[in-house]
Amino acid sequence: MPPMPAPPDLDPFDRAILSILQKDNTTPQRAIGERVNLSAPAVQRRIKRMQERGVIRANVALVDPARVGHPITIFVEVEVESERAELIDAAKRGFATVPEVQQCYYVTGEADFILVVTVATMADYEALTRRLFFENNNVKRFRTFVAMDRVKVGLEVPVGAPHLP
């Protein structure tokens, strides 16, 4: 089980900064400071703290898959034969190392894994399913959902207000 650190308490300043950075992390600290009523160095210190605490996981450029030769996005629901720990772990490692697999989640429910895959052509996807599923004895069944429209691709996490369960 991964360590689950107590959620660092973020005050309204932190949340405001996060919501800006999630949209555009090239926003100058001075500009952020003006919007949240803080000096640039104060903003800087808060950002550094959130990075150290793991609130901010990474700073990245988001690339449009369609414009780099991967126009097709596919969701795949995978069901396995056995849920034995070693087999599950092996499957996790297997999926995680495939570049075409953008996201992979281990889930409860009627499936065991959900993958998000991007490929250039359906032929590539077909080849991928061979490698990933047909050659894997532990895969019982998989279902394919081809994305026709990316209605919302935002990765922003709502930071509006803390939730007290």
Distance between CA 36 and CA 33 in Å, rounded? 5
Using CB under 7 A as the binding rule, whether residue 12 contacts DNA is answered as no
Distance between CA 22 and CA 78 in Å, rounded? 31
- Which of DNA, its own copies, none does 18 bind, CB closer than 5 to 8 A by kind? its own copies
Query: Rg of the Cα trace of the chain?
Result: 20
- Which of its own copies, DNA, none does 131 bind, CB closer than 5 to 8 A by kind? none
Site map 19..58 versus its own copies, x via CB under 8 A: --xxxxxx--------------------------xxxxxx
Coil/strand/helix, residue 164: coil
Using CB under 7 A as the binding rule, whether residue 71 contacts DNA is answered as no
Query: Which segment (36-44, 60-68, 87-95, 101-109) binds DNA by CB under 7 A?
Result: 36-44
Using CB under 7 A as the binding rule, whether residue 42 contacts DNA is answered as yes
Distance between CA 112 and CA 89 in Å, rounded? 12
Cβ atoms of residues 113 and 95 within 8 Å: yes
Of positions 41, 82, 90, 121, contacts its own copies by CB under 8 A: 121
CB atoms within 10 A of CB 163: 7
Using CB under 7 A as the binding rule, whether residue 8 contacts DNA is answered as no
- Would you tell me the crossing angle of helices 12-21 and 29-36 to the nearest 10 degrees? 130
Q: Which of 31, 77 has the CB closer to its own copies?
A: 77
Using CB under 7 A as the binding rule, whether residue 106 contacts DNA is answered as no
The region, left, alpha or beta by phi > 0 then psi within -120 to 50, assigned to residue 98 is beta
State in angstroms the smallest separation of the CB of 39 from DNA.
3
Of positions 52, 64, 81, 135, contacts its own copies by CB under 8 A: 64
Of positions 21, 29, 112, 119, contacts DNA by CB under 7 A: 29
Within 13 Å, how many C-alpha atoms sit on residue 2's CB side? 3
